[in-house]
Structure 1
């Protein structure tokens, strides 16, 4: 009996220890599940069942049960750590805490959503089919079909290929179509960075000026510039790990104001000495962007007036945190054609239907490899400068997001390729995907 009691005691202690160290994770699990559910239902108009069976069917997150009400979703794990996400028109969904007042009025961005009879991409009219002699269409269609094969592994949802001012191929998984908004995750970073390119072109900021963070002015962090932040080489501490309680998961699923998480970190190196990918840096830049405007309304309107609605990305919605800051690291939604328009803007070096939105030099800036990134990162865009994708042209650059959201721009091939889904390397082979498409275009 003594042996049995000792074994039971040890088991109880072991369970207690496991529970002690894992209980805080439940907060993140239920937070992710409820936020993902709310946004997918209220922004993308998808069914709770579909979101549960696909988007939330990932390790740990699938432990959460989520209920959906009129304008919110609440998640918990075995009834513990309930977290609620609330939908706000114009601002998307936000994880709330006990301080959230649902009756309090809030500002939302003004939109200029217009329709015209212009052909895509300057409008939404599809031109008559154009057959290009340099495109092997059977080979192109086979390449795209291959990206949708093995659906339980590759998990592709949408693919679009744009070449010579035309969409030359487009395919959607059942349940998705040209109007379905897709969460871009970290492709949002490239949207946010582009706002800096626009401000620079308008003569309103200097990228080499010190970042205007008051808390930094009396220590070594005062030497960090906007350029350092855009290149992820500030030297500030940051842990970007989504598998545990880390800086990034605490910011996205616990913070009321996501713009302060990176600003509060200490310097562990001098600017340019290290490269460290940080979603906190992107949200810090979002906070700095807000300071460029006299009023919150001006801040909320700027991305739409100067970029999003100007190029007809009318399906796009930028979600905001509880403090009213756009979550520039992660939370932009848009349909596949609108994500393609963003890539086309860069393919055209900032020129949109006769109007220059940012300087051509901005494209050179964001595609210049950042030190210590091994040629994979520029200014909030990813690069192929050192052949990460060996069978793809080196001039390719892209906006990348979690689970394989990609907007590829390949100037030498006059190509923009959009792929969205729920998997990335190694389950989805981006090199093969791109090289098969490129080989069909001569």
Structure 2
């Protein structure tokens, strides 16, 4: 009996330690589940049951259970603990809220406009041209696209679209998804945010090399000289500001606290340490992107102007009418992570860059902006420019080195290959080694003779 009691006491101690250690994580787990359920249902109009079985079927996240849900709110918990609620707002998307959030408040929303014309993709939404190019091996192309969808349990590809010289030459979707289905781009939103700065610079409103935003942000609460005052906007766009950040999604880290706990996500990066010994060290940071969203807000006199700008200057101007960028509790765009658009609209974003900022005759940003965002950031091993990912050192060895891309969690991608006049969009639920991007891209490139 003594041995049995000791064993039981030991098990109880182990369970207690595990509960105490993991209890704070339940807040993040429940928060992720609630936010993802609400946004995917509200924005993409997908069934809660499908979201639970697919999008939220991840380690730990699958432990969360939906306590209640309707068309505009979701409450989840883990084992009945850590209730987290997400509410959805017209024009602003969904937001994970805290106890202080006033759900009855009247909120501003972006003014949207719709591009009305009879043009086909990409300059309009009147279908697509069935163009046949003599220099394309369509059999090879279709094989490459089909390969991206094979072995779904591993690759988990949902949509693929390939454009050549602005024409759709291949397009496919799994069951339940179509050309109308909005897809969460996750960190592809960072590249959208960067483009807004390219537009501002083209309008002569900022200079990314000379503008030092900390001097006017008044976010730090410090008195006297702030050592961060000298950091140019360029360093923030290149993720080399010297500001500390922990981009670890498997623990309670800077990024998970920001996305699932903070009321104002633009301030999270401000609260971290500054590395005066290695100020130019490259360090990927979603906190930096949301700080940039806060800096963007400072460029406008009113909140309404800030809310309107991404749509009037970029999104609606190029007909990305399915796109929506969600805001946090304080009304800031979550520029690090929460941009939604259907696959064709993500492709339009890529085509705008392939055309060096020219959209059907109108220049939205300088052609030189492409050279800027694709210039290798020091210490990034040739993989990063200015809020865009690069292939400068052959991350994809069988693909042209001039490839650059907007990358998001779980393999969301907008690939741009200027030397081949290609824009390729792939979305899904798996990235990294699970989805062999190099083989897929190689197949598409080799189809262009």
For the superposition of Structure 1 and Structure 2, which TM-score range results when normalised by the shorter chain?
over 0.9
1:295 and 2:302 aligned: yes
Most deviating of 201-210 and 263-272: 263-272
**Cα distance in structure 1, aligned partners of 2:205 and 2:279:** 24
**Cα distance in structure 1, aligned partners of 2:166 and 2:23:** 53
| Aligned position for 2:159 | 158
| Aligned position for 2:94 | 93
Structure 1 residues 190-201: aligned runs within 5 Å: 190-201=191-202
* Shift of residue 270, structure 1, vs aligned partner: 5.2
Q: Is the 8 A contact 2:389 2:404 kept in 1?
A: yes
In the alignment, structure 2 segments of 5+ residues that lack a partner are: none
Most deviating of 6-15 and 426-435: 6-15
**Cα distance in structure 1, aligned partners of 2:147 and 2:167:** 22
Secondary structure of 1:111 counterpart: coil
Structure 1 residues 224-239: aligned runs within 5 Å: 224-239=231-246
**Cα distance in structure 1, aligned partners of 2:317 and 2:280:** 38
| Aligned position for 1:122 | 123
Q: Is the 8 A contact 1:275 1:371 kept in 2?
A: yes
Secondary structure of 2:259 counterpart: helix
Change (3 A) 1:200 1:62: same
Secondary structure of 1:365 counterpart: helix
**Cα distance in structure 1, aligned partners of 2:277 and 2:74:** 43
**Cα distance in structure 1, aligned partners of 2:271 and 2:129:** 54
* Shift of residue 6, structure 1, vs aligned partner: 2.1
| Aligned position for 1:430 | 437
Change (3 A) 1:11 1:127: closer
Q: Is the 8 A contact 1:385 1:394 kept in 2?
A: yes
**Cα distance in structure 1, aligned partners of 2:300 and 2:127:** 38
Change (3 A) 1:272 1:237: closer
**Cα distance in structure 2, aligned partners of 1:371 and 1:174:** 43
| Aligned position for 1:41 | 41
Q: Is the 8 A contact 2:324 2:339 kept in 1?
A: yes
| Aligned position for 2:412 | 405
| Aligned position for 1:263 | 270
Q: 1:311 aligns with which of 311, 315, 318?
A: 318
| Aligned position for 2:284 | 277
Structure 1 residues 194-209: aligned runs within 5 Å: 194-208=195-209, 209=211
1:84 and 2:67 aligned: no
**Cα distance in structure 1, aligned partners of 2:429 and 2:23:** 27
Q: 1:324 aligns with which of 331, 341, 349?
A: 331
| Aligned position for 1:113 | 114
What's the RMSD between the two structures over aligned residues? 1.1
Q: 1:355 aligns with which of 348, 356, 362?
A: 362
Q: 2:213 aligns with which of 192, 211, 218?
A: 211
Number of matched pairs = 442
**Cα distance in structure 1, aligned partners of 2:206 and 2:128:** 39
**Cα distance in structure 2, aligned partners of 1:127 and 1:400:** 26
**Cα distance in structure 1, aligned partners of 2:42 and 2:106:** 19
* Shift of residue 168, structure 1, vs aligned partner: 0.4
**Cα distance in structure 2, aligned partners of 1:33 and 1:336:** 24
Which aligned runs of 4 or more in structure 1 are off by greater than 6 angstroms? none
* Shift of residue 269, structure 1, vs aligned partner: 3.9
**Cα distance in structure 1, aligned partners of 2:432 and 2:253:** 22
Q: Is the 8 A contact 2:163 2:423 kept in 1?
A: yes
TM-score (norm 2): 0.97
**Cα distance in structure 2, aligned partners of 1:191 and 1:164:** 21
| Aligned position for 2:446 | 439
Secondary structure of 1:425 counterpart: coil
Q: 2:344 aligns with which of 337, 340, 349?
A: 337
TM-score (norm 1): 0.98
**Cα distance in structure 2, aligned partners of 1:194 and 1:81:** 38
* Shift of residue 272, structure 1, vs aligned partner: 5.1
Q: Is the 8 A contact 1:272 1:371 kept in 2?
A: no
Secondary structure of 1:259 counterpart: helix
| Aligned position for 1:188 | 189
**Cα distance in structure 2, aligned partners of 1:127 and 1:71:** 34
Q: Is the 8 A contact 2:122 2:348 kept in 1?
A: yes
* Shift of residue 278, structure 1, vs aligned partner: 0.1
* Shift of residue 336, structure 1, vs aligned partner: 0.3
| Aligned position for 1:15 | 15
Secondary structure of 1:263 counterpart: helix
* Shift of residue 100, structure 1, vs aligned partner: 1.3
Secondary structure of 1:417 counterpart: strand
Secondary structure of 1:176 counterpart: coil
Most deviating of 215-224 and 406-415: 215-224
Most deviating of 6-15 and 56-65: 6-15
| Aligned position for 2:137 | 136
* Shift of residue 210, structure 1, vs aligned partner: 1.3
Secondary structure of 2:349 counterpart: helix
Q: 1:251 aligns with which of 258, 273, 279?
A: 258
Most deviating of 264-273 and 288-297: 264-273
* Shift of residue 13, structure 1, vs aligned partner: 1.4
